[in-house]
């Protein structure tokens, strides 16, 4: 296959370079109008969505409202001006930057992010669908201030557009890791030549995707798969039922103390149980601190019971315990 690359990711796979075929216009290719605002009219919602998609090729637009009116209009003038819905989109550079640094934290310990994109840009468009005619009117305030849409600096600072995020999420859902995704984004020689051509009006969106974009998508997927419910107690209950159905031994307990209650959740697979019975009284304990927080804001701790595998001679986890206390009481309770 021409222009393919092999990615070693557990399985042998081949992909076309730059699998993400999305582009963004350069600033000299963005259309400018004589008046502001300028009005557009569409007959279907599909035409409106296609127009919005075209605007997202050089700038990200955030939806701020989507009001739907269902109140009957009795006055004739009100009927003529009544709308089924109203959509308002702002440039993602709209608004002011609000520093979130804590005053009591040393500047050396504060987090330092990249330059803010908030320049109070006033570019926006308002879409209304009139009830009687069915016409969709778009009032477009196209002039941006504080930044240059389509410029190299603007693309570097701006966030990825929704289509790029969906593409990354789709690859992560197919169990691609960060290395594999970055390989898919590599440009071929012909793509590089096209982009470097002085007459070219496009820049590939794959150049904007960073390691952290893929990493954050992996974290979102892990969180979605691990949190079976918004409430931590409900999520643990669902996990206990799910593990029990798959042959795991689970134990849930709440110990009442004068100051508070200590929560305990243990899980051991059938394989781990068979090895645990062979270990006798010699086991090790490894504690991982602050893996998450419960609904009361208290830290949760993971404790792993370890033993030595007689076949390999290496350490093997024998049981897992989650608790919201660092005291030895939970260990004594399950022993």
pLDDT at 98: 72
Here the tokens at position 306 are: 């370890």
Pick the range with the lowest mean pLDDT from 157-166, 184-193, 262-271, 276-285.
276-285
Is the separation of the CB atoms in 31 and 203 below 8 Å? no
194-232 pLDDT, tens digit each? 777 766 777 788 888 888 889 999 989 988 888 888 877
List 38's β-bridge partners, or say none: 140
236-249 pLDDT, tens digit each? 889 888 998 988 98
Pairwise pLDDT comparison (121 vs 7), residue with the higher score: 121
pLDDT at 188: 78
pLDDT at 125 exceeding the cut of 90: yes
**Residue 188: exposure state from Cβ atoms within 10 A (0-12, 13-18, ≥19):** middle
Give the H/E segment covering residue 87. Answer: strand 83-91
Q: How far is CA 6 from the centre of its chain?
A: 27
pLDDT at 143 exceeding the cut of 80: yes
> Which spans in 178-229 are helix H?
178-184, 189-196, 211-226
pLDDT at 1: 37
pLDDT at 139: 93
152-176 pLDDT, tens digit each? 788 777 888 888 888 999 889 888 8
pLDDT at 190 exceeding the cut of 60: yes
Pairwise pLDDT comparison (74 vs 147), residue with the higher score: 147
Pick the range with the lowest mean pLDDT from 41-50, 94-103, 126-135.
94-103
Question: If you average pLDDT over every residue of the chain, what do you get?
Answer: 78
pLDDT at 17 exceeding the cut of 80: no
- CA–CA distances in Å: residue 301 to residues 142, 152, 225: 52, 45, 20
pLDDT at 39 exceeding the cut of 50: yes
84-93 pLDDT, tens digit each? 888 899 998 8
Q: Which residues contact 2 (CB under 8 A, 6 or more apart)?
A: none
CA distance 237 to 230: 12
CA distance 134 to 130: 5
């Amino acid at each position: 296959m021409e222009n393919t690359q092999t990615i070693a990711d557990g399985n042998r796979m081949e992909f076309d370079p730059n699998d993400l075929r999305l582009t963004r216009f350069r600033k000299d290719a963005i259309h400018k109008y004589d008046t502001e605002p300028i009005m557009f009219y569409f007959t279907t919602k599909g035409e409106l969505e296609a127009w919005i998609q075209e605007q997202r090729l050089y700038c990200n637009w955030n939806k701020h409202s989507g009001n739907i009116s269902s109140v009957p209009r009795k006055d004739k003038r009100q009927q003529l001006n009544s709308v089924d819905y109203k959509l308002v989109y702002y440039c993602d550079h709209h608004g002011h930057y609000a520093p979130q640094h804590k005053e009591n934290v040393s500047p050396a310990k504060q987090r330092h992010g990249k330059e803010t994109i908030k320049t109070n840009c006033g570019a926006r468009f308002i879409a209304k669908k009139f009830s009687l005619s069915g016409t969709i009117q778009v009032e477009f305030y196209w002039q941006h201030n504080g930044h240059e849409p389509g410029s190299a600096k603007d693309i570097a600072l701006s966030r990825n557009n929704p289509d790029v995020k969906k593409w990354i999420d789709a690859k992560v859902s197919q169990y691609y890791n960060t290395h594999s995704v970055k390989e898919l984004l590599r440009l071929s020689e012909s793509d590089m030549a096209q982009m470097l051509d002085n007459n070219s009006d496009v820049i590939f969106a794959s150049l904007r995707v960073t390691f952290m974009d893929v990493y954050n998508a992996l974290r979102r997927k892990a969180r979605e798969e691990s949190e079976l419910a918004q409430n931590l107690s409900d999520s643990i209950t669902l996990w206990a039922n799910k593990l029990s159905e798959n042959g795991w031994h689970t134990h849930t307990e709440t110990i009442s103390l004068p100051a508070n209650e200590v929560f305990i959740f243990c899980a051991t697979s059938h394989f781990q149980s068979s090895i645990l019975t062979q270990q006798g009284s010699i086991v090790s304990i490894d504690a991982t601190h602050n893996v998450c927080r419960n609904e009361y804001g208290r830290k949760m701790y993971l404790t792993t019971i370890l033993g030595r595998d007689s076949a390999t001679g290496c350490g093997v986890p024998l049981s897992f315990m989650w608790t919201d206390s660092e005291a030895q009481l939970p260990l004594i309770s399950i022993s």
